[in-house]
Amino acid sequence: MPPKKQVEEKPGAWSLGKFSRSLKVGLVGMPNVGKSTLYNSLSKSHHAAAENFPFCTIEPNETRAFMPDARFDWLVEQHKPKSEVQPYLQVVDIAGLVSGASTGAGLGNAFLSHIKAVDGIIHVMRAFEDDDVIHAEDTVDPVRDITTITSELRIKDLEFMKSKLEQHMKIRSAEATKTPQAKKAWENNLESMEKIVAFLEEGKDARLGMDIWTSHDIDLLNDLQLLTAKPVLFAINLNFADYKRKKNKFLKPIFEWVQANAPDSAIIPYCGGFEMELADLDGEATAEKLKEVEVNSALPKMIQSAFKMVHLILFYTAGPDEVRAWIIRKGFKAPQAAGVIHTDFEAGFICAEVMAFDELKEHGTELAMKAAGRYRQEGKTYVVQDGDVIFYKFNPTGGKKK
């Protein structure tokens, strides 16, 4: 009886992107839509020059936006440690883009290279009218703006892919004369490249092809790091009155555009001016202000959504000395996650002693988890889950004999 044909497992969206230990999101938008103001609010600092003229951000600023996390807070409350290291998201403020950026208009080339260096994009969209804040296109039209930006990114990707395809064709003869395997690899890459080019030429972003990309296509896309393969989130900058009432004439067209062009992507309305006001207050004053105006800050949701967007998850180490949230890419196995703590942990990995956070919270203590049989040992093939509380055992010599 012939062996059953293996069915290739369909990759999920989490498989698109680099498996790095240091992932970043970039704030992207037209000039003067509120990127630097949002960046300053996220970082609670004022080192991005939020000036009222185009291209005030030239070199990309980078900050850590600390992420609210109830699980971390619970572990801190339980252990009352000497040190706390809370989770954060790396955020980059990127120069404003204008129509023609793909051909170098404005700060186009620098802008596009800075986007290439991040792993996810927060599209900042201006949805308020204010004669005192100039707009690069003179009028406020967020759908026009986002159409311009996504078109420029796709044009650049298409230009890049055609160049790669041209280079690939030049090595055809050389690869064909090496080995049958080399020839087959060249043919597989050609098939994937032509497929990606055709998809982009249809006016579609690379990340929207998850239903047709094969594992080989995914591997190639991850090597190429296309701009339109990056996950996206839409931050809609409103005036305070519209933010409070959750209504605005621009919101419905934005929603319809996102549904058509970036389905399943988060849309988060916020008020840049209000968030900057909150950034200047301490914790107690912030709570009082929110109670007074009867609205909440949109930033916690924005940070958490962006964190998940680039497929990051958290695991924790917890004890009386330190409670720490460790940031890893979804899909990391136990030894890879150990390497985030220290390379020696990965090299000398023995096992991971794991507790699922929800179960730990339910049972209350490590001792109770052990008594319930829920404190478990996992080996090298274990894929770390979001919220795992882990104690690693490792060989300090890296498993090598002296």
DSSP code string of 174-212: HHHTT-HHHHHHHHHHHHHHHHHHHHHHTT--GGGGTTT
pLDDT score for 396? 83
pLDDT score for 178? 83
> d(Cα 212, Cα 225) in Å, to the nearest integer?
18
Half-sphere exposure in the Cβ direction for 34 (13 Å, CA): 28
| Listed range (44-48, 87-91, 159-163) with the worst mean pLDDT | 44-48
pLDDT score for 23? 79
**Which is it for the CA torsion 141, 144, 148, 151, positive or negative?**
positive
User: Mean pLDDT across the chain, nearest whole number?
Assistant: 85
- Angle between helices 142-170 and 180-201 in degrees, nearest 10: 160
Mean pLDDT calculated for residue range 152-167: 93
| Top mean-pLDDT range of 35-44, 166-175, 235-244, 304-313 | 235-244
At 337-354, the pLDDT tens digits run 999 999 999 999 999 999
- Which pairing describes strands 267-270 and 349-356: parallel, antiparallel, or unpaired? unpaired
At 352-364, the pLDDT tens digits run 999 999 999 999 9
The answer to whether the CB of 286 falls within 8 A of the CB of 278 is: yes
Mean pLDDT calculated for residue range 54-77: 76
pLDDT score for 299? 93
The set of residues, in sequence order, having a beta carbon less than 8 Å from that of 223 and lying 6+ positions away, is none
* Closest-CA residue to 192 (of 168, 216, 172): 216
Two structure tokens written together for 189? 């890459």
Confidence class for position 14, pLDDT limits 50, 70, 90: low
